[in-house]
Each structure stands twice: as structure tokens, then as C-alpha cells.
Structure 1
Amino acid sequence: MSPLVAFLIVLATVAAMELVAWSSHKYVMHGFGWAWHRDHHEPHDHALEKNDLYALVGAAISIAMFALGSPMVMGDAAWTPGTWIGLGVLIYGVIYTLIHDGLVHQRYFRWVPRRGYAKRLVQAHKLHHATIGKEGGVSFGFVVARDPAILKRELREQRARGVAVLRETAD
């Protein structure tokens, strides 16, 4: 496989992972997987959350793809793109950890962005946390952040329809 093709597979996987993350966040974490995700939406003083188990799921997917691409593991059945897909999942996991856990929730470092896309990411995710419970909500992605003004309007509409219960500080 050419280095260009491998690079494109990694890039495509990183981009696709935002779609995977968005859909799993909206439909799994805020659906049947709420038991693991709930503590992420509630105040606590623990260093770790049950929600961190989702990172282990992502790591397992990456490791499985590396294994599928490894001739040492799979022999002649090795699927070369697996290695590059595994690398793309790993890179997305690092980006997620730095942006979501680091920048937004400040678990690893303290920096409050004053402008630009980093500020928009923080605002969008704080609006995601503006609801109480798993119902309703906005901004389920982790790297792509929509305009906070639009997200606020969507939250108000959800509240008016009875879909979402907003925290006191949400408006």
C-alpha cells in the first residue's frame, strides 16, 4: 500500500470518527448507555467517571483494527488497511482527550479560550451540559461545534416542546 493511500485512510478515519462519536454520544450514551454516561453530566469529585469506560471501548476498537492489520497476529489473513484505520481511531482518541477532557472539562490543564474555535468548542459543549437528564440536548459532537446562538435557540425550542429540562444557568 502506498504511503499516500495509508495517509488518506488515516485522515478519512479521523473524520469518520467524529460522525461515529456524534451518533454514539446521541444514541448510545444518551440512550441505552446512559448508566455509564450519567455521572459525566452530574457534579462529582472523583478523578474518574464511569463515562471513561467509553474511552476503553474506543481503545479496544483501535487495538482490534491494529490486530486485523498485523501479519504477526493475522498471518496471511492480515488486512493492511486495518493498521491505518486503527491509527486513525487512535489519533481521534488523542484529539478527543485533549479537546473534551482537557480543554472543555479541564481535567488535565487549565486554559479558558477567549476567542476563536476553541472558545466555540467550549461554549457548544457547555450548552450540551445545559440539560438535566438524558433527554433533549444539543451539540453531541466533540470536535465539530456549531454556532452557540443556534444551539441556544434549539435548547429553548426543546424546553418549549417539553423535550428537555434545562439547568437554571442554561438561559
Structure 2
Amino acid sequence: MLVQIIAFLGTFFFMEFMAWFSHKYIMHGFLWYLHADHHKKDHDSWFERNDAFFIFYAVVSIGFFLLWKYAILETGLAIGLGIFAYGLTYFMVHDIFIHQRFKIFRNANNRYAKAVRRAHKMHHKHIGKDHGECFGMLLFPFKYFKP
């Protein structure tokens, strides 16, 4: 059981690195076409092409569930749940709290909430794929905590 908990927590925290890496080098790189509408909306739909990245990570998570189900990887369930938990956290923080795709969590104003909004605002000040900053989601430079 301890191995499962370590695998889950390790995966969850590793996903912050994966979010930073894929955001900086993939979304702002060769798949900018899918991410661009997140920085500058060019359509009338509630959905964004950028939402395709959620599907990718869901497929990876499901893959680990299947590796566990078919007894190929004992920690597959814990890893799949870690990816899922990070994805859910990312969705709640990024899409609901920051971008208000659903109008809830509007009044959260603690120190961390203000800092995550500031860091994300700095990321979105550039509407192009170059010159970006703050590519992570839950972890960001300490300077954004200052009032």
C-alpha cells in the first residue's frame, strides 16, 4: 500500500513538471495551433482547440489503468489516478478558478489564489507563442506571492 501511495503522490507532483514541459515546449512549440486559441480566442465556441490536451492526458491515464487491470504494472492504478488527480486539479485551478469557464470560486482571495492569478496573468500577457513565462500551474516563482 505504501508503494501505491508513493506512486500516486510522485505521479501527481511529476505532472506539474510535465505540465510545465508540455506547455513550454509543445503547446508553445510545434502544437501552437492547438494552444493559440487559449491566448487569443478566434472562435465563438465554449470549447477551445486547447482542450485537446486534456484528452491526451486522459488517454495516458486510461493507459495506466489498463496496465494495472491486465496485471502488467502493479502501480498502474496509482499512476493513472495521480495523472487524473492532477488533471482534475489543473481543470479546477486553471479553467474554473482562473479563466472562469464555470462561474464558481470567484471569491477565493487567499495569498496563494492571488499569486496563481498573477503568475497566470503574466503568462497571458503575451498572445503569441514566443516570450512566454510562468508555464507551470501550481508552482511558480515566489515573486508572485508578494502584495
Question: Is 1:64 aligned to 2:63, yes or no?
Answer: yes
Contact 1:19-1:141 within 8 A present in 2 as well: yes
Contact 1:112-1:119 within 8 A present in 2 as well: no
Contact 2:111-2:145 within 8 A present in 1 as well: no
Equivalent in the alignment of 1:11:
9
Give % identity: 41
**Partner Cα separation in structure 1 for residue 108 and residue 125 of structure 2:** 19
Q: How many residues align?
A: 143
Correspondent of 2:75 among 74, 81, 85? 81
Cα deviations by residue, 1:21-57 (Å, 9 ceiling, x for unpaired)? 1000000000001010000000354210000000000
Correspondent of 1:106 among 86, 100, 120? 100
**Partner Cα separation in structure 2 for residue 124 and residue 22 of structure 1:** 13
Residue type at the aligned position of 1:94 = L
Residue type at the aligned position of 1:39 = D
The alpha carbon displacement at 1:112 in A equals 4.3
Which deviates more from structure 2 when the two are superposed, residues 23-32 or residues 115-124?
Answer: 115-124
Q: Any unmatched runs of 5+ in structure 1?
A: 72-76, 151-171
Question: Is 1:42 aligned to 2:40, yes or no?
Answer: yes
The alpha carbon displacement at 1:8 in A equals 1.1
Question: Is 1:138 aligned to 2:136, yes or no?
Answer: no
The alpha carbon displacement at 1:127 in A equals 0.7
Equivalent in the alignment of 2:22:
24
Contact 1:103-1:112 within 8 A present in 2 as well: no
Question: Is 1:148 aligned to 2:144, yes or no?
Answer: yes
Determine which structure has greater relative contact order: mean sequence separation of CA pairs < 8 Å that are 6+ residues apart, divided by chain length. Answer: 2
The alpha carbon displacement at 1:5 in A equals 1.4
Query: Which is higher, the Rg of structure 1 or of structure 2?
Result: 1
Equivalent in the alignment of 1:163:
none
The alpha carbon displacement at 1:149 in A equals 8.2
Equivalent in the alignment of 1:95:
89
The alpha carbon displacement at 1:125 in A equals 0.4
TM-score, structure 2 length as denominator?
Answer: 0.91
Aligned CA RMSD, in angstroms, stands at 1.6
The alpha carbon displacement at 1:12 in A equals 0.4
